Amino acid sequence: SEIIIATRNKGKMKEFEPMFLRQGIAVRSLLDYPDLPDIVEDGHTFAANALIKARAIALKFGVPVVADDSGLCVDRLGGAPGVYSARYAGEPSDDAANNRKLLAELAKLEDSSPSAEPARLSPARFVCAIALVDRAGHPVAEVEGSCDGVIIDKPRGEHGFGYDPLFYIPELGRTMAELTVNEKNELSHRAQALGKLWEALSK
């Protein structure tokens, strides 16, 4: 069966590909269509933006589409970077710059309230909203997954993408970037969301 994942993010695809293949579903992504114009993601929630991306691509190609809108939420930053995670440090999207910006914002907080908990241990959560739409762009399933951790003050690990090197999971004693793709796919926000999608589709 033909299905497109409406993403240009190589890091997401590296995780999605094996998870879809395990279900016997071969997928393409927007990386196969470099000339498509950017989709305007102007929703205020992960769920809204996932649906916007999925609909736009379904209407263009006339096939079922899955989209992932995801990001990092830090309570002490009022939920930032949230839906702005990809472009936290500005255009174009730059993972290294986003990580520096995150540490700078947390350091600012620490300076302004020295008695607070060390910023490097700020609780954080990865969130992933996945939308599946049919070939006409109508929603078939909308699911969300999340994963809890804390932000550390120096990047650790070479795997993954985005904020993974700063996202430490105390239960594992490792950052998300110190996990292989298979290990990350056992517990990530993306894997949780996809698990809920399979569950929704089996009903």
Query: Which CB, 89 or 119, lies closer to ligand ITT?
Result: 89
The CA distance from 140 to 163, in Å, is: 30
Q: Tabulate helix, strand, coil % of the chain (nearest 5).
A: 45, 20, 35
Window contacting ligand ITT (CB under 6 A); options: 106-114, 151-159, 161-169, 192-200: 161-169
Active site residues per annotation:
69
Torsions phi, psi of 149, nearest 5? -160, -165
Q: Which two tokens stand for residue 63?
A: 């096939």
Near ligand ITT in 25-44, by CB under 6 A: 41
Closest separation in Å from C-beta 92 to ligand ITT = 10
Other Cβ atoms within 10 Å of 194 Cβ, number = 24
Query: Which CB, 91 or 114, lies closer to ligand ITT?
Result: 91
Residue nearest to ligand ITT according to CB distances in the complex: 162
DSSP code of residue 39: P
Q: Which residues bind ligand ITT (CB under 6 A)?
A: 7-9, 12, 41, 68-72, 85-86, 93, 98, 126, 160-164, 176, 188, 190
